[in-house]
Amino acid sequence: MSLKIYNVLTRKKEEFTPLTPGKVNIYVCGPTVYDNSHIGHGKTYVSFDVIVRYLRYSGYDVLYVQNITDVGHMLDTGEDRILKKARQLSAGPMQVVETYTRRYFEDMDALGVQRPDISPRASGHVPEQIAMVKTLIEKGHAYEVDGSVYFDVSSYPEYGKLSGRIIEDLEGGARIAVREEKRHPADFALWKKADPEHILRWDSPWSDGYPGWHVECSAMAGKYLGHTFDIHGGGIDNMFPHNECEIAQSEAANGEPFARYWMLAGTLTLDGIKMSKSLGNTLTLRDALTKWRPEAIRAFILSSHYASPIDFSDTAVEASNKGWQRIWGAVSLVREQLRTAVSGDADPDVITLLEKTKASFIEKMDDDFNAPAAIGVLQELTRQVNTLLNEQGPHTQETLTAIDQLYRELGGDVLGIVPEQAESGANAEREEGLVRLLIDLRAQARANKDWATSDTIRDQLKALGVVLEDRADGTIWKLE
Ligand SMILES: [Zn+2]
């Protein structure tokens, strides 16, 4: 079977055929950097992280571009999000942008999201955006009014093809002041003349001003991926108007198709309610990560298909966490047994099980990146591996290595939910050594029938969040 993708543009699940065989160019709308990332960002960017990881695992040479919006993204009130935050913090807008860009990468790193190949910033690509606006005016798709430039939606009959909206539906909504300046309420700003107090401003042929939000993605996607490229992604909230405007600008300016496959990630609600700052129900990734391991948050996000909505609640994350712990428990046990395993032939039955598991995992992921079903495959493998480890054995180094390797590949490289080791770095080694030392002392105490010491070690480790589990072949430990 080959990879199939649900294409939002055609509303069909289609076989994926890249423009250039073996190569995938993908663009995903990035964050507007004026605040900490919340778990909704986590859902979007973990979803595309797994999509990109799987494309790479499938052998594609992927070029992943995700922008940083640091200018021009206005609130419904007409205020610039970044300037508003800068006023609140009594800081310069570029300080705000730098602070939250760094935090975005820190949060995504913590969540195990691999960085895009290119993270272009809108403020660093103003000349490209001005060039695109010039082309649109020359080709009759845009017009200037008093230093601002608007895209003329009536000049592009395909406007609305992504979202299915038609121009007649778009009469309302626009603010009165802007509406007076535009020829049609659905026309959108490509360049805005800056008010005297507006700090983020650049020189242009029309006025001292700043670019509209939508034009940055068109200009930067075209610059790094070409006029026509394979996949465009983002959160479904941005389908209209943002993505719709991107298509109109790019195709009108270049006279060539824009992205060939559109993939949009579903929304995330918090306890059944859409997250909103005004309602006070937001959860930052930083806060979520103090409570849950990154792998548990990823497993939760991946428990629903990327295009589906998901509801974040403690109960739901706890359920995913339990499922994840079963997988991680089995992996830890495999690695534990590997320490003492001896070399020998790999068990052919186990190899067959692993081959079937891999084929089944690939089949699920090839079906529009069905991560929840792929996790189900790993859970089924885990059930069988637990039986194998607890009821049979000892197993050879080769058998255990093959099992560990498959978990590393599918659970680690593709889904990012199976870590390389318990924790990373020297601290992890020290932690492992200390817990091992206590496990050995406890084993000695038990051999001497010193139950009091044995219980104290177990209970005090538990109080520190380290759970010991006695098994036929020894004691293993895991974090609670
Ligand atoms: Zn965008």
Hey, where are the domains in the chain? 4-265, 315-414, 425-479
Compute the distance between CA of residue 444 and CA of residue 140 in angstroms, rounded to an integer: 85
Topology given in CATH for the domain delimited by 315-414:
Four Helix Bundle (Hemerythrin (Met), subunit A) (1.20.120)
Angle between helices 397-406 and 348-366 (to 10 degrees): 10
Q: Which of 224-233, 275-284, 323-332 has the lowest mean pLDDT?
A: 275-284
36 Cα: distance to centroid of ligand 1 (angstroms): 19
Q: Which pLDDT does position 71 carry in this prediction?
A: 87
354 Cα: distance to centroid of ligand 1 (angstroms): 40
CA separation, residue 146 to residues 150, 205, 206 (Å): 11, 12, 8
123 Cα: distance to centroid of ligand 1 (angstroms): 14
Compute the distance between CA of residue 243 and CA of residue 121 in angstroms, rounded to an integer: 18
97 Cα: distance to centroid of ligand 1 (angstroms): 17
6 Cα: distance to centroid of ligand 1 (angstroms): 20
249 Cα: distance to centroid of ligand 1 (angstroms): 12
Q: Which pLDDT does position 428 carry in this prediction?
A: 60
Whether the Cβ atoms of residue 142 and residue 136 lie closer than 8 Å to each other? yes
366 Cα: distance to centroid of ligand 1 (angstroms): 26
176: pLDDT confidence band, cut at 50, 70 and 90?
very low
Q: Chain-wide mean pLDDT for the chain? A: 92
Percent of the chain residues topping a pLDDT of 90: 78
Compute the distance between CA of residue 64 and CA of residue 105 in angstroms, rounded to an integer: 15
136 Cα: distance to centroid of ligand 1 (angstroms): 18
- HSE-CB for 352 with a 13 A CA cutoff: 3
215 Cα: distance to centroid of ligand 1 (angstroms): 8
Whether the Cβ atoms of residue 301 and residue 372 lie closer than 8 Å to each other? no
Residue range 182-204, pLDDT digits in tens = 999 899 999 999 998 888 899 99
The CATH architecture one would assign to domain 4-265 is 3-Layer(aba) Sandwich (3.40)
323 Cα: distance to centroid of ligand 1 (angstroms): 35
> In the predicted model, is pLDDT for residue 279 greater than 90?
no
216 Cα: distance to centroid of ligand 1 (angstroms): 7
Closest CA to 467 of 454, 458, 428, 430: 458
Closest CA to 34 of 86, 77, 107: 86
74 Cα: distance to centroid of ligand 1 (angstroms): 13
Q: Which pLDDT does position 470 carry in this prediction?
A: 87
Residue range 416-460, pLDDT digits in tens = 999 987 654 456 667 778 888 999 999 999 999 999 999 999 999
371 Cα: distance to centroid of ligand 1 (angstroms): 25
Q: 64 Cβ partners below 8 Å, 6+ apart?
A: 26, 28, 52, 116, 117, 118
> In the predicted model, is pLDDT for residue 180 greater than 80?
no
Compute φ and ψ for 24, nearest 5 degrees. -125, 125
327 Cα: distance to centroid of ligand 1 (angstroms): 36
Give the predicted TM-score (pTM) of the model: 0.87
Closest CA to 235 of 274, 271, 273: 274
Q: Which pLDDT does position 301 carry in this prediction?
A: 98
Residue range 373-405, pLDDT digits in tens = 999 999 999 999 999 998 887 999 999 999 999
> In the predicted model, is pLDDT for residue 68 greater than 50?
yes
Type of residue numbered 268: L
Tokens of residue 93, six digits: 């807008």
28 Cα: distance to centroid of ligand 1 (angstroms): 7
Compute the distance between CA of residue 287 and CA of residue 346 in angstroms, rounded to an integer: 44
239 Cα: distance to centroid of ligand 1 (angstroms): 9
Closest CA to 48 of 294, 252, 292, 236: 236
214 Cα: distance to centroid of ligand 1 (angstroms): 6
> In the predicted model, is pLDDT for residue 179 greater than 90?
no
Mean pLDDT confidence for 205-214: 95
Q: Which pLDDT does position 155 carry in this prediction?
A: 96
234 Cα: distance to centroid of ligand 1 (angstroms): 7
SS3 letters for the chain? CCCEEEECCCCEEEECCCCECCEEEEEECCCECCCCCEHHHHHHHHHHHHHHHHHHHCCCEEEEEECEECCCCECCCCCEHHHHHHHHHCCCHHHHHHHHHHHHHHHHHHCCCCCCCECCEHHHHHHHHHHHHHHHHHCCCEEEECCEEEECHHHCCCCCCCCCCCHHHHCCCCCHHHHHHCCCCCCEEEEEECCCCCCCCECCCCCCEEECHHHHHHHHHHHHHCCCEEEEEEEHHHHHHHHHHHHHHHHHHHCCCCEEEEEEECCEEECCEECCCCCCCCCEHHHHHHHCCHHHHHHHHCCCCCCCCEEECHHHHHHHHHHHHHHHHHHHHHHHHHCCCCCCCCCHHHHHHHHHHHHHHHHHHHECCCHHHHHHHHHHHHHHHHHHHHHCCCCCHHHHHHHHHHHHHHHHHHCCCCCCCCCCHHHHHHHHHHHHHHHHHHHHHHHCCCHHHHHHHHHHHHHCCEEEEEECCEEEEEEC
13 Cα: distance to centroid of ligand 1 (angstroms): 23
Q: Which pLDDT does position 172 carry in this prediction?
A: 52
Q: Which pLDDT does position 200 carry in this prediction?
A: 87
Q: Which pLDDT does position 286 carry in this prediction?
A: 93
206 Cα: distance to centroid of ligand 1 (angstroms): 24
Mean pLDDT confidence for 199-223: 95
Q: Which pLDDT does position 79 carry in this prediction?
A: 80
211 Cα: distance to centroid of ligand 1 (angstroms): 13
Mean pLDDT confidence for 329-335: 94
440 Cα: distance to centroid of ligand 1 (angstroms): 56
Give the angle 387-294-412 at the CA atoms, nearest 5°. 50
95 Cα: distance to centroid of ligand 1 (angstroms): 22
373 Cα: distance to centroid of ligand 1 (angstroms): 29
243 Cα: distance to centroid of ligand 1 (angstroms): 6
434 Cα: distance to centroid of ligand 1 (angstroms): 49
Decide: residue 273, CB within 10 A, 0-12 exposed, 13-18 middle, 19+ buried: exposed
